[in-house]
C-alpha cells in the first residue's frame, strides 16, 4: 500500500513519444501517451475487455486503441468504441489518472482526482531559471524507494561511498576533522529540512573541477524532503576563489515494494556556455556514473540483506537525524491514511 | 488442479526419439520414450528410489533404467530390477500413464486408466485425408492455457492483432463494415460450437496469397471447442475465383497454472504439390511467425497484467459468446469433478 | 533452521585474500577477511547502521570499515568508530563468528561461542601426511545439502552415474556380479560408519589409470559420516600388481535450504612426483569434471523433482543403509536441538 493523494513522478517527457509507454507505478500498470495537442495522458494499462495492455496498441488521435480486439478508450478512460457492437457497458471504462508535465518531469496523481491540484507538485523553479541549466536522469533500481531516499537524506555517505568524486574525507577514523560542522534539522508542515555546513574542508575532485578550486572550501548542504518521496538538495561550494551553486532533486516512485523508478535533475549555475567543461553531456555522464556505480549497487545490496535478514532495524546516528525525522513523519502519514506502516519505514525512527 | 479423465496432448512424435523426453504436464513430471516396437511409453519422471528423473536414464529395450543407481522400470511403471537386491518393494512401482499416438500427436491420459478410451481423443480426420496436407507446430507459452484458448475462441482478434496478415479490417472505428455478419454459438454435449460468416469482406494478405484471390471474399469460420482444451477451426475463403479450405486445430496442455504446451496442426487443401507456394515449410514459417510474433506476446502480456492485478474479470462482448459459453461449461465441469473452479475460468462467464 | 554448535566449512583459504569475501552460510550473510597476522575473521556481513554489506568495505588493519558511512568494526564485531560521533551505542555491535583455518579449509562455528572447541573440527590428518598430496575443490550447488550428502553416502551410484570413469559395472540387470560383496554399517557416538568391499571386480577407468592396473581388483570403501554434514571416504584398490589409497572428504554447508556450498579434498598416495600422471592439476580436472558433469546435475534435478512433487519420500534399498542410518541420526539431532526435523531429512529413514 502506498500513500494516496500525491503526485508521483512517472516519466521523463522524452520517454512519452510516438509510441505509448508502459510503466508500473505503485504496483499498477499505467500507459502513457500524448494527445493531439501533445499533452500527456495516463490510463490504466489494462484493457477492460480481456486484460491486454493498451501500451501495445495504437494511438488514434486523442484516443488509444487496444491491439487485441480494437476497443478504443479516450483520454478520460471512457471506452468509446467496441467493434461490432453499439452499446458500451459501464464497466468497460477504465481508470484515468490526472497527469501533467511540469519542471521537466511527467507526474501522475494517485488518489481522488478532485484533489489533484497541480500546485501540490514539488516546486523546482531553478530548472527554469535563465542562469541555470538542468540535466535530467532516470534510473531503474532493484531496491525499495525508501532505501534510495535514505541514501539521499544522509549527506555523510559522500565521504565514503563517493570518496574519489564527491566526498570530503571528513570523519575518517584517525583522519583530519573539519574545523566546524553545523547541522540542523527541522520540520515545516509536510516538509522535513536540514542544513549542514562544513567549514574549511578539502574539496572533492568533482566540485574542484566544477569550480576550479585550488584550496579548501566551505560546503553547504540544504536538504528538504517532501512527501511522498522527493529529496531536494541545494549545494554550495565556496571559498575566496569562487562560489558555485547546484540544485539536485531526486524523486523516487515505487514500481513495487522492492523496485523503484528514480528520477533526478541536476541544475547548476556554471558551465553554461555549452562548449567548456562541464557541458550538459559531461554532467550527465558524471552523475550517471556516480549513481550507477556507487549508490545503486549499495542500495541494491542493502535490499538483499534486508530480504535475507527479516525484521532488522537501523542504528541511527547523528548524521541520520534527517532520515529519522522523515521516517517518523512518514509513519504518521501512513497511519493518517489508515495504511499499516510499511516495514521499510519502521526500520528507522 | 486440472480436469481428470481426459487425453492431454503431450508431444509431437518426432520429439520422442532415441533419447527420453521429460515434459511437465499438469504440474507432474512425465518421461516419454518409445518401446522396441516404437510405441510411446509415458511414466512418472521420478524414480521411486530417490527422486532422480528417469529422463536422464537409459532406454533398455522396453524398459528404462535410472541413471543414478540402476533401478529399472517397465512400460507399466513396474520396478523390475533393483541392483544388488532380489526383492522389490511394492512402493518402488511408479505411475504409468496411458499414452498413444494419433493424428500426428502423442496423447496421455490423466485419470483412471480403465476409462482411457482412445475414441475420446479429439477427432482430426482431415490430417490423414489424401487431399490435405498437415503441418505441425509446438510452442512453449509463458501464460495460462485458458488465455491461449480464449485467444483462439475469439475470431475477432484477427482484424487487429493480425491486421497485416490474417485480418479483414472489419469493425474498425469509423471504418467500412462487412455487408453481413452471421454469428451463432451452440452447445452439443461436451462441445461448444460457433459459426461466423462475413460476406464480401476484403481478404487478408495471407489467404489472398494462398488462394490467389484478387477481390473480396466470403469468409466462414466454424469453430468447435472440446474439453479439456482443444479448439478446432474450420476456415473457408470463397469467391467466384476460388475456394480454399483450412482446418487448424489447437491443443493447449497445462504445464503449470501459468505455462502452457501449445500444439497445433494447420491442414490445408491447397499448395499440395510441394514445389509451388505455399509449401509445408512456407506454411510452417508463416504460422510460426504469426503466432510467435502476435499471439504469444499478447497472451503473455495478459498474464503479466493478471499477475499484477489480482481478481480482475473480463467485460465480455458479443464476439466473446463462444468464450463465455466455454467458460460456463468449464466451470460446470470443474464442479462436477469436485475441483474448485480456477480463477482463469471464472474471469469470464 | 540448521543444527547449531558445529563447525561449518566456509571457504577455501585462497578465497579469503586481499578483498573481503561475502558468503551466505545457513541463511546468514557472513563476511570473511584476514587480520594483520593473516588469521581469518568472520563477521555478520551486515552493518548495524543501515544494513549495508561490510564485504564491499575496506579492511583497515585488523578492522573492517563499512563503505557506506564509515562505521568501523573490529575482529570481535565490536563497533569501534562512528564518524562524527563519540559514543557508540551497544546495539551497533555485530555478530562475530569463531573462525579458524585447519586441514586446508576455513571453518566457522554456529552456536554458542564458548563451546567452539577446535578439537571438534572434522579430523583430516591425511591432508598433512608427508606421503600424501591433497587437492581441494569448491562447488556451488543448486540443491539441498542433504541431497549432496546422500549422493556421497551411497557408493552404489558409481556403477551407473560414473560408469565411464569410476564405476565397476556391478549390479547391472543381467550383468556379471562381483564374486563377493561385504557391507556393514554401524554407529559410534555421533558418527555413522560403513564398510563395503567388492572382491575381484573390474576396475573402473580412472583407478585403472591411477594404479596402472591391468586386471580385476578388490575395491574397499570405508565411509564415515559426521555431523553436521561431512562425509569421509577412504578408498583402496588392490590386486597383486599394486595397491593405491585415496581419502576424499566432502563437507556440505547449507547456503539456504535449496543451495549448498560443497567443499572437498582428494588426498592420494600416488602420482606425487609432480611430473608424471596424475599431477595435482590432472586430479583437480578429473574430479571437477566428474562432479560437475555427473553428480551435480543429478542432485539439482532431484531438487527440481522434489520442488514439483511435494511430500515425496524415498524407497530405501540395501545400499542405502548408510543413508538411512544418517537420516535417523540427524532426525534425533534436530529434535535434541528443539528444531522440527526438516523434510529433506524425513524423506528417508
Ligand atoms: S483485450 Fe482489448 S479489445 Fe479485447
Ligand atoms: S534414484 Fe533412481 S535408482 Fe536411485
Ligand atoms: S550502513 Fe554501514 S556505516 Fe552506514
Query: CATH number of the domain at C125-346, please?
Result: 3.90.380.10
> Which segment of A2-6, A62-66, A189-193, C253-257 scores lowest on mean pLDDT?
A189-193
Name chain A contacts of B302, Cβ cutoff 8 Å.
50-53
In the predicted structure, residue A150 carries a pLDDT above the cut 70: yes
Which residues, 6 or more positions from B242, have their beta carbon under 8 angstroms from its beta carbon?
A: B211, B212, B213
- The arithmetic mean of pLDDT across residues A266-283, rounded, is 94
Please state the rounded mean pLDDT for residues A91-111: 97
Report yes or no: B50 and C150 within 8 Å, Cβ to Cβ. yes
Nearest to A68 among B298, B308, B318 (CB): B298
Whole-angstrom Cα distance, residue B250 to residue B224? 11
Identify the pLDDT of residue C162. Answer: 81
The residue extents of the domains of chain C are 6-120, 125-346
pLDDT reading at A3 higher than 70: yes
Pairs of residues, one from chain A and one from chain C, whose beta carbons lie less than 8 Å apart: 87
A80 to chain B: which residues are within 8 Å by CB? 173
Q: What percent of chain C has pLDDT over 90?
A: 81
Q: Report domain B6-120's class.
A: mainly beta
Instruction: Search chain C and give the residue with CA nearest B30.
Output: C305
* pLDDT value, residue A179: 61
Alpha carbons A3 and B167: distance in angstroms, whole number: 45
- The three cell numbers of residue C73 are 568494526
**DSSP 3-state of C338:** coil
Q: Give the ipTM of the model, two decimals please.
A: 0.91
pLDDT digits (tens, 9 = 90+) for C228-265: 999 999 999 999 999 999 999 999 999 999 999 999 99
Q: Which of C150, C301, C347 to mutate to test the interface with B (most CBs of B within 10 A)?
A: C301
Residue, of A270 and A319, whose pLDDT is higher: A270
H/E/C letters for each residue in A171-233? CCCCCCCCCEEEEEEEEECCEEEEEEEEEEECCCHHHHHHHCCCCCEEEEEEEEEECCCEEEE
What is the spatial distance between Cα C230 and Cα C236, in angstroms, rounded to a whole number? 20
| pLDDT for res C348 | 83
- The parts of chain B modelled with pLDDT lower than 50 are none
Tens of pLDDT, residues A191-231: 999 998 989 988 888 999 999 999 999 999 999 999 999 99
pLDDT at A168: 60
8 Å CB contact of C84 and A308: no
Chain-chain contact of B49 with C150 (C-beta, under 8 angstroms): no
Quick one: average pLDDT of C263-284? Answer: 95
What is the reported pLDDT for C180?
A: 67
CB contact under 8 A, B52 and C172: no
* pLDDT on residue B172: 65
A49 touches A71 (CB < 8 A): yes
Are C70 and A171 an interchain contact pair (Cβ–Cβ within 8 Å)?
yes
Residue of B305, B306, B314, B316 to mutate, testing the A interface (most A Cβ within 10 Å of its Cβ)? B305
CB B177 within 8 A of CB B139: no
Distance between Cα B111 and ligand 2 center (Å)? 26
CATH topology of domain B131-346: Naphthalene 1,2-dioxygenase Alpha Subunit; Chain A, domain 1 (3.90.380)
The residue with cell 599394486 is: C242
Separation CA C179–CA C340 (nearest Å): 44
B60, closest residue in chain C (CA to CA)? C173
SS3 C300: helix
Task: Compute the mean pLDDT over every residue in chain C, rounded to the nearest whole number.
Answer: 93
C-alpha B189 to ligand 1 mean position (Å): 30
Shortest CA distance to B120 belongs to which of B135, B103, B134, B137? B103
In the Cβ-directed half-sphere of B129, how many Cα atoms lie within 13 Å?
19
| SS3 labels along B288-314 | HHHHHHHHHHHHHHHHHHHHHCCCCCC
CB contact under 8 A, A315 and C91: yes
In DSSP terms, which residues pair with C138 in a beta bridge?
A: C263
Taking residues C259-272, report their average pLDDT.
97
Cβ neighbours for C204, distance < 8 A, ≥ 6 positions apart: C158, C162, C165, C166, C167, C168
Q: Which atom of ligand 2 is nearest to the CA of B50?
A: 1
Beta-carbon contacts of residue B198 (< 8 Å; ≥ 6 apart) = B168, B170, B178, B180, B181, B218, B219
Cα angle B181, B187, B193 (rounded to 5 degrees) comes to 45
Least confident among A281-295, B154-168, C263-277, C326-340: B154-168
Number of C-beta neighbours around residue C162 at 10 A: 19
Angle at B194 between CA B190 and CA B200, to 5 degrees: 165
pLDDT in the model for residue C318: 83
Q: Which of C170, C171, C309 sits opposite B46 (nearest CB)?
A: C309
Amino acid at each position: 500500500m502506498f500513500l494516496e493523494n500525491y503526485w508521483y513522478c512517472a516519466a521523463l517527457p522524452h520517454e512519452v513519444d510516438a509510441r505509448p509507454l508502459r510503466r508500473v507505478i505503485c504496483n499498477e500498470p499505467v500507459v502513457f501517451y500524448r494527445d493531439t495537442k501533445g499533452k500527456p495522458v495516463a490510463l490504466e494499462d489494462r484493457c477492460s475487455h480481456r486484460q491486454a495492455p493498451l501500451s501495445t496498441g495504437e494511438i488514434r488521435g486523442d484516443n488509444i486503441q487496444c491491439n487485441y480486439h480494437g476497443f478504443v478508450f479516450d483520454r478520460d478512460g471512457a471506452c468509446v468504441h467496441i467493434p461490432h457492437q453499439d452499446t458500451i457497458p459501464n464497466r468497460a471504462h477504465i481508470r484515468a489518472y490526472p497527469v501533467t508535465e511540469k519542471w521537466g518531469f511527467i507526474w501522475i496523481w494517485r488518489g481522488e482526482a478532485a484533489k489533484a491540484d497541480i500546485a501540490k507538485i514539488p516546486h523546482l523553479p531553478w530548472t527554469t531559471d535563465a542562469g541555470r541549466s538542468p540535466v535530467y536522469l532516470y534510473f531503474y533500481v532493484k531496491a525499495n524507494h525508501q532505501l534510495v531516499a535514505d541514501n539521499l537524506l544522509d549527506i555523510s555517505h559522500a565521504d565514503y561511498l563517493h570518496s574519489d568524486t564527491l566526498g570530503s574525507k571528513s570523519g575518517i577514523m584517525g583522519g583530519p576533522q573539519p574545523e566546524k560542522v553545523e547541522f540542523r534539522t527541522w520540520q515545516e508542515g509536510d516538509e522535513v529540512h536540514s542544513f549542514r555546513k562544513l567549514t574549511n574542508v578539502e574539496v572533492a575532485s568533482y566540485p574542484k573541477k566544477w569550480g576550479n578550486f585550488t584550496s579548501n572550501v566551505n560546503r553547504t548542504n540544504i536538504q528538504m524532503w517532501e512527501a511522498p518521496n522527493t529529496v531536494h538538495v541545494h549545494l554550495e561550494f565556496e571559498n575566496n576563489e569562487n562560489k558555485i551553486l547546484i540544485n539536485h532533486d531526486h524523486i523516487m516512485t515505487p514500481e513495487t515494494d522492492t523496485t523503484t523508478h528514480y528520477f533526478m535533475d541536476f541544475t547548476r549555475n556554471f558551465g553554461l556556455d555549452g562548449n567548456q567543461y562541464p557541458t550538459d553531456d559531461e554532467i550527465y555522464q558524471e552523475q550517471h556514473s556516480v549513481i550507477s556505480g556507487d549508490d545503486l549497487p549499495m542500495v541494491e545490496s542493502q535490499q538483499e540483506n534486508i530480504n535475507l535478514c527479516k525484521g532488522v532495524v537501523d542504528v541511527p546516528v547523528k548524521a541520520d537525524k534527517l532520515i529519522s525525522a522523515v521516517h517518523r513523519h512518514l509513519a504518521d502519514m501512513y497511519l493518517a491514511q489508515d495504511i499499516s506502516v510499511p516495514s521499510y519505514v519502521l526500520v528507522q525512527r
